[in-house]
Amino acid sequence: MVYQNLSEQLLLKRCSDGDAIAFREIYENYKKFVYAVVKARLEDAEEARDVTQDIFVNLWASRQQLKDIRDFKTYLYVFSRNQVISAYRKKNIRIKGENLIIEGIKLLDHSPEDKRLATELTGLIDQAVAQLPETMRHCYRLSRQEDKKNREIAGILNISEKTVRNNVSEALKRLKLNLQSTHPELLLLLLVMLFPS
């Protein structure tokens, strides 16, 4: 059978059934796309190649669910993103920038693991925020939790906008430093939550 002529859905169905040749066709069709997704997030090309390889190994390992996927490219993008995060946690690979890791995160589904980590992160942030000086704590909460503009916060707290800006900036810096030293594996989620792309 000529696998190049099969539809993507049929290839995915065959992959789910354990057809290695169909999986090879999926690999050939998407290896450049996956590498581009990974390389955009990693500083080292060798690490990007290793993570790309891991993505396809893990995709094969979880092949039973492939037959149910309707938008495979989006699925593969999310799967690749999660593998980069997982590699970051396990291997301490270097990631480019703070916000590149999850573009359009609000449009994507979250795994149970993402939800668990987000809950854990929220608790850690709340503890860290409670330790901030009073004015800084109020500025942070009004800005990040109530989504108020600096001008509004300045009016509420009866301080200058510059003071609000400085306090919010310092609060974010302290939170990042705190998390980096105590829970580095959750730092990416903090960056995503506080600085969405």
pLDDT of residue 136: 93
pLDDT beyond 80 at 167: yes
H helix runs in the chain, sequence order: 8-16, 20-39, 45-61, 72-91, 112-130, 134-140, 150-157, 161-182, 187-194
Quote the pTM value.
0.48
pLDDT of residue 103: 38
d(CA 11, CA 23): 7
> Which three-class secondary structure state does DSSP give residue 95?
strand
Domain residue spans in the chain? 3-96, 110-194
- Residue where the block lists tokens 């500083």: 43
pLDDT beyond 60 at 101: no
- Max mean pLDDT among 103-107, 116-120, 173-177 falls in 173-177
* CATH topology agreement for domains 3-96 and 110-194: no
pLDDT beyond 90 at 159: yes
Contact 172, 85 (CB under 8 A): no
- Residue where the block lists tokens 């593969």: 76
Q: What does the DSSP 8-state code read for residue 142? A: I
CATH class of 3-96: mainly alpha
Label residue 112 by pLDDT band (50, 70, 90): low
Q: What is the percentage of the chain residues whose pLDDT exceeds 90?
A: 13
d(CA 45, CA 42): 7
Question: What backbone phi and psi angles, to 5 degrees, belong to 180?
Answer: -60, -35
Residue predicted with more confidence, 35 or 194: 35
Q: What does the DSSP 8-state code read for residue 64? A: G
Contact 174, 133 (CB under 8 A): no
CATH number of 110-194: 1.10.10.10
